[in-house]
Structure 1
Amino acid sequence: MLSRTLLCVAVFAASTPLLADTVWLKNGDRLTGKIKVFDGGKLLIQTEYAGAIPVDWEQVKTLESDQELLVKQDAYIGEKAKSLQAAEDGKVILANGEVPKTVELASIQQIIKPKPVIEDLVWKGNVDVALDYKRAEKDTDDYDVDFKTSARHGKWRHTAEGEYNRVFQNDVVTTDNWSAEYALDRFITDQWFWQGRLTYKRDKVEDLSRQRTVGTGPGYQFWDDELGAFSLGSLLNRTDYEYQDGGKDNFYSLAMKWDYNRYLIGKTVEFFTNGELGKPLDGPAHYSLDAEMGLRYKVTEWASLNLKAERDIVSGGSDSDLSKTRYTAGFGVAW
């Protein structure tokens, strides 16, 4: 009897289809999978048979989903729906446990999975690699690797990032540097947080050979959702410089940090920029800037191509002047 019961359960489980989201198109086709996001006129649905498929919103007749989604009909106000139910052509029903609400598809600007600012555990990151080989009057080999990862647990967020860059010209090292940074954020409210930060930079070629920075200060998280994040932070820093000739400087500074990323075109293209602008309270430098900006194009769920521009400036006396701009193209992985 027990064997027969287990057999029936197994057959029933195998014959029961897994719950999936469904999108009906105006041409009569139907897509099943998991709705990831709708933004910029593209609905991204993850399927088992063709991966992530971007669909023009104008071609959608109606749709349904068994997951909780945030539906925004303008740039500021959104309604959290427990599920979406299919309706007549050009409409969808928002089921939220109360009175179902039918809305026009044309009125919807975004559909995203709701994400609380503070989650129990979230871990994400990326590694980007860029290689450049040029054979001409001066043979040049350029290697660049950088990573960034963050983990959130309760009211705490840990962020670590680093970069390594090495360039050869005719077998002579012309660039050789690396940097590492660790930041710890403690959220006071859903948006306000307090940050502590440690940074170390090492350069074996430039006159400014070592930089060490310890900073702390408040920050504000404007948003952090399925389509990206934006935060600003202000820091009071203590910075120590060491030069190749053995000279040393140290000073205190005020700095503004930014970290922005945004997914576009159905979450296939990511625009990102981050950096820090600092003004010393005393010391040799007039101001400093360390910034990057770029684009990532998702080839698969985990692989991407990237284009980046980096700008480093330290403006001050003759011993501390530094100005570098780099452009890189490469590939990477993300999680």
Structure 2
Amino acid sequence: MLSRSLLCLAVFSASTPLLADTVWLKNGDKLSGKIVLFDGGKLVLQTEYAGSVPIDWSKVKTLESDQELLVKQDAYTGEKAKSLKAADDGKVTLANGDAPKTVELASVQQILKPKPVVEDLVWKGNVDMALDYQRAENDTDDYDIDFKTTARHGRWRHIAEGEYNREFQDDVVTTDNWRAEYALDRFLTDKWFWQGRLVYKRDKVEDLSRQRTVGTGPGYQFWDDELGAFSLGSLVNRTDYEFADGSEENFYSLAMKWDYNRYLIGKRVEFFTSGEVGKPLSGVADYALDAEIGLRYKVTDWASLNLKAERDIIHGTDESDLDKTRYSAGFGVTW
């Protein structure tokens, strides 16, 4: 009798569908899945039948969820709800025990899963790796590792980037350099921010062996949501050059930065470009450019393939001239 009861319970459990979040649209459609995030006017619903589906928030009639979610009605403060309950058209109820609260969907700025320490932390990034082995008249081994990560909470955004390049030709090192950058943004409004950043570059092969840059200035975030982001920043920089022969130069410059990425084909393909162009205020160089452009294809939710081109130019005096173009293809991890 006991074994029969356990068998019935197992069959019932297997046949009972997992609880799913539900979104009702204004045109009468109903979608089921798991709410991942609402940000930048897009509600992202993870479904079994279509993967990650972005939904225009203006098309949502109401919604419900059994998850604990942080609902923010402005850019910096939010209320943690044990669950969301469907309400009248254009509204949703934040269920919190004996004190449910019904709010207008139009007033909601962001919905996300609360984090253990910093509840409104949004963390994303990627690591790209490329390896190239060529065996011919000249044997070539080429290694390239890049990473970029962004963490945002409240009015603050932290950005860390780095890369390492190393190349051998017939066991002789022809390229050996690395770069690290950290930037801290303080949002003054929803769009305007002020940035401070540090950059360090080290090259063991080129005459320009070290570069150190400290900069600060305003920036503007055009958008930043699940489908991509675009920002521009202007900086006043102090740069120090150190050459292989021990000589040094330093100067101030004005620079413009850009950072753009856009997901295509159902968030499977990402187009991205970022870089900086600067003009020194003294005669040490005419201009400097450090830029990249590429595509990233998501094989799974975390694994990706990438193809990109990088350009690094310093045009000025003969001692500091540099012009490099690098193409790479490889694999990586995205989160």
Shorter-chain TM-score: which interval? Answer: 0.7 to 0.9
TM-score after normalising by structure 1: 0.73
1:233 aligns with 2:237: no
| Cα distance between partner residues in 2 of 1:81 and 1:281 | 55
| Cα distance between partner residues in 2 of 1:127 and 1:282 | 36
1:198 aligns with 2:178: no
Helix, strand or coil for the counterpart of 2:320?
Answer: coil
- Within-5 A mapping of 1:88-103: 97-99=87-89
| Cα distance between partner residues in 2 of 1:326 and 1:316 | 21
1:289 aligns with 2:289: yes
List alignment gaps of at least 5 residues for structure 1. 1-10, 24-29, 38-43, 56-68, 73-77, 85-94, 102-112
Contact 1:70 1:114 in 2 (8 A): no
Q: Deviations over 1:263-317 (max 9, x none)?
A: 0010100000000000001141100000000000000000000001000000001
Contact 1:115 1:224 in 2 (8 A): no
**Structure 2 residue aligned with 1:168:** 168
List alignment gaps of at least 5 residues for structure 2. 1-10, 25-29, 38-43, 65-84, 92-107, 112-118
| Cα distance between partner residues in 1 of 2:125 and 2:328 | 19
1:246 aligns with 2:246: yes
CA offset at residue 79 of structure 1?
Answer: 4.9
| Cα distance between partner residues in 2 of 1:35 and 1:267 | 16
**Structure 2 residue aligned with 1:323:** 323
| Cα distance between partner residues in 2 of 1:100 and 1:232 | 34
Number of equivalences: 273
| Cα distance between partner residues in 1 of 2:131 and 2:323 | 22
| Cα distance between partner residues in 2 of 1:177 and 1:16 | 53
TM-score after normalising by structure 2: 0.73
**Structure 1 residue aligned with 2:151:** 151
CA offset at residue 221 of structure 1?
Answer: 0.5
CA offset at residue 245 of structure 1?
Answer: 1.1
| Cα distance between partner residues in 2 of 1:35 and 1:96 | 14
Helix, strand or coil for the counterpart of 2:292?
Answer: strand
**Structure 1 residue aligned with 2:72:** none
CA offset at residue 97 of structure 1?
Answer: 4.8
CA offset at residue 81 of structure 1?
Answer: 4.1
CA 1:53–1:137 in structure 2 vs 1: closer, same or farther (change >3 Å)?
A: same
* Equivalent position to 1:71, from 50, 56, 59: 56
Helix, strand or coil for the counterpart of 1:195?
Answer: strand
Q: Deviations over 1:133-166 (max 9, x none)?
A: 0011110000000100111121111110000000
Q: Deviations over 1:12-60 (max 9, x none)?
A: 999574024599xxxxxx99634779xxxxxx97445x7x6489xxxxx
Contact 1:289 1:314 in 2 (8 A): yes
| Cα distance between partner residues in 2 of 1:21 and 1:175 | 54
Helix, strand or coil for the counterpart of 1:82?
Answer: strand
CA 1:334–1:237 in structure 2 vs 1: closer, same or farther (change >3 Å)?
A: same
**Structure 1 residue aligned with 2:20:** 19
Q: Which amino acid aligns with 1:71?
A: D
| Cα distance between partner residues in 2 of 1:288 and 1:330 | 27
